[in-house]
Amino acid sequence: MSIWGTTAVVGAWEHPTRFAPHMTAFQIHAESARGALADAGLTIGDVDGFFTSGVGPIGLLSLCQHLDLRPDHVDSTSIGGSSFVSHCLHAAAAIAAGLCKVALVTYGSTAASERFAVGTAGLVMGEPPDQFEAPFGPTIVGSYAMVAQRHMHEYGTTSAELAEIAVTMRRHAGLNPHAKYREPITVEDVLASRVISSPLHLLDCCVISDGGGALVLTSAERARDLARRAVLILGGAEAVRHLGIGRHDLLDVAARQSGPLALARAGVRHDDIDCCMIYDSYTITVLATLEALGFCKPGEGGAFCAGGRIALGGALPVNTDGGGLSSNHPGMRGIFLVIEAVRQLRGEGGEAQVSDAKLALVHGTGGMLGQRHSGVTMILGRS
C-alpha cells in the first residue's frame, strides 16, 4: 500500500511574531496549534497524533501536558531544523497506516528574545564524536562555511554568486509583511557585511528571530469534507550525512539521496516542480541543496541561482516568503517551508504568488552541513 497521495495538509498557520519577549515558547506552540486547527476547521479534540521537536529530550510529554493532549500516536524525531518536514512524512505514514487520524505538528521558539546565539555558539561536549571536534571551536556557521570553501575550491564558486541568493530572498521578504527584514539589499551590501566565518558574511547567514507555526494533517478522504483546499503529500524521503570514517566528500549532502527518492516516489520530474522551499540557514545551503537535489549539475549552483532564476517570475522560485535569510529563523525552520508551500499551492501567496502553482518541493536541512546533518525532501501537490 502506498502512502503517497492518500494524506493531506489541511491546516497551516505561521505565527506572525518575530520578537516575543512577552511570550513563552510553549505559548507560541499553543497559539500556533489554535491557528492551524482553526484553519483546518477542526478542534483540539480531533487531534489523536502529535508531532513536535526542539522541546528537550522528553519535552513532547511536557507539551502534551501544556496542551492537555492524550494522543494515540506521538513522534518527536529531532534531526535539527528539518525535523518538522520529517514529522509531516511520519504523520502521513501514521495516518495511512491507521495509527492516527488527525495529526498536529507544532513548533515554537523564543531564540531571539533569549539572545540565543544560534549559529555562533560553540559545540558543546555531548555525543562521542564531539570530543574530536569541540576542542577546536567549530560553530554551526563554521561548519557550513567549510562546505562553501570546499565548493569554491572545487568549482570556482564566488562570494558574489552566494550573495545573489541572499539578495533574492530579501526581495521576496519585501512582499511579506511579517518578514523580519524587508528593505532591499544588493550583492555589494552582502559582500560589504562583516565576515562571520569565511567565506560567509553576515548577510549570507539567516536571521535569528522568535516564532513558530503549526500544521494539521489527515487522510485525503477526510480532507474532502474540510473547509480548505487540501494539499496532498505526494512523496518524500529522508537522508543522513556525516563524516563517517573520515573520508566523506563534503559536497555530497543529504539532499543527493533524499531528493531523487522523493521525486521518484511522487512520480514527478524536476521540470514538473513549480516552486521550491529550500532550507536557507546560509546562502551555501541553498546552492548546495539545489545541486544535490538535481536541479542543476554539481558546480553549476552559482550560475543556476543567478539572473533571477530562483526569484519570483523566474523558472524556479525559491523561498517565496523570504526564507530564513530574511523572514524568520527561530532556530529550526522546517515547518515554515511546509507552511509557505501550502500557501502557494492554495493560491494564497498574495503578491508573492507563483502563478498556477501545482507542485512544490520542500527540502529541510538539519544539523551541520559540513559535519552531521539530515536532509528531508517532500513533494506537495494541489488537490
Partner 1 sequence: MAETRPYKKPLPRVDEESRGYWEALARHELYFQRCRDCGTARSYPRAVCPSCLSSATEWVRASGRGTVYTFTVTQQNQTAGFRDELPYVLAMVELEEGPRLVTNLVGCAPDDVRTGMPVEVAFEDVTGEIALPKFRPA
Binding residue (CB under 8 A) for partner 1 from 122, 294, 298, 308: 122
CA distance 202 to 193: 6
Q: Which three three-digit cell numbers place residue 175?
A: 512582499
CA distance 331 to 193: 22
Q: Which three three-digit cell numbers place residue 158?
A: 564566488
Could you tell me which of 343, 342, 305, 345 has the C-alpha nearest to residue 325?
Answer: 305
CB of 173 to partner 1, least distance (A): 23
Spacing of C-alpha 199 from chain mean position: 23
Site string for partner 1, 319-358 (x = CB under 8 A): ----------------------------------------
For position 58 contacting partner 1 by CB under 8 A, the verdict is no
Identify the H or E element spanning 89.
helix 83-97
Helix, strand or coil, per DSSP, at residue 211: strand
8 A C-beta contact, residue 5 and residue 231: no
Strand partners, 81: 79
CA distance 47 to 26: 18
For position 157 contacting partner 1 by CB under 8 A, the verdict is no
List the interface residues with partner 1, window 243-282 (CB under 8 A): 243-248, 250
CB of 176 to partner 1, least distance (A): 27
Residue corresponding to grid cell 487540501: 230
Could you tell me which of 35, 5, 58, 6 has the C-alpha nearest to residue 335?
Answer: 35
Choose one: 118-126, 269-277, 284-292, 327-335; the region binding partner 1 (CB under 8 A).
118-126
Binding residue (CB under 8 A) for partner 1 from 124, 183, 225, 313: 124
CB of 130 to partner 1, least distance (A): 8
Size of the site for partner 1 (CB under 8 A): 43
CB of 299 to partner 1, least distance (A): 15
Looking only at Cα atoms, what is the longest distance across the chain?
A: 56
All residues at 6 or more sequence positions from 165 whose CB lies less than 8 Å from its CB, including other chains: 280, 283, 286, 287, 305, 310, 325
Please provide the distance, in angstroms rounded to a whole number, between the alpha carbons at the two ends of the chain: 20
For position 105 contacting partner 1 by CB under 8 A, the verdict is no
Binding residue (CB under 8 A) for partner 1 from 16, 21, 129, 156: 129
For position 22 contacting partner 1 by CB under 8 A, the verdict is no
8 A C-beta contact, residue 278 and residue 285: yes
List the interface residues with partner 1, window 134-153 (CB under 8 A): 134-139, 141-142, 145-147, 149-150, 153
Site string for partner 1, 208-247 (x = CB under 8 A): -----------------------------------xxxxx
For position 62 contacting partner 1 by CB under 8 A, the verdict is no
For position 368 contacting partner 1 by CB under 8 A, the verdict is no
Site string for partner 1, 173-202 (x = CB under 8 A): ---------------------xxxxxxx--
Residue placing its CB nearer to partner 1 in the complex, 219 or 371: 371
CB of 319 to partner 1, least distance (A): 24
The DSSP line for 281-335 is SBHHHHHHHHHHHTSS-TT-HHHHHSTTTTSTTSSS-B-TT-IIIII--SS--HH
Residue placing its CB nearer to partner 1 in the complex, 34 or 242: 242
Residues forming contacts to partner 1 in the complex (CB under 8 A) are: 117, 120-125, 128-139, 141-142, 145-147, 149-150, 153, 194-200, 243-248, 250, 370-371
